[in-house]
Amino acid sequence: MTKIAIVCGSYHKEEIERMLDYSKDQASIEKLEITDVVWVPGAMEVPLALSRLITRNDIDGAACLGIIEKGSTQHGLAMGQAVMQKIIELQLETGKPIGLGIIGPGAEPEHIEPRLEPHARAAVSAISTML
């Protein structure tokens, strides 16, 4: 069975736990086995956790789940762009797919709830499709 890992940002833990449940359900549908779930403090730590996982021989792909809300400064936007750039680089370096389930950057509170399930499921489906 194809083995994947999921990295979860814990800053919005309640919402991300729900996303993780949707991801687990989608992995079952896609016939993927989630062997590792790693929680990190926030989006900035996602690339390091992904790098540690995706370079392992026993991991075929990974997904990341998180939320980057809109703040009063451009910090979230800059951070989100840097994180997403590194995720793209990790895919190219390893040849392994990483499903992006990060809502934002710039997510307003009203954007979060309706995106939890579709983003989580799409992140897992992207892995399956790219494998």
| Whether 12 contacts 116, CB under 8 Å | no
How far apart CA 34 and CA 23 sit, in angstroms, is: 9
How far apart CA 22 and CA 88 sit, in angstroms, is: 23
Let me know if 75 is a catalytic residue.
yes
Considering the candidates 12, 75, 111, 119, report the single residue annotated as catalytic.
75
Tell me the residue ranges of DSSP E strands in 1-131: 2-9, 32-40, 61-69, 98-107
- At a CB cut-off of 8 Å and minimum separation 6, what does 33 contact? 1, 2, 3, 4, 27
Known catalytic residues? Answer: 75
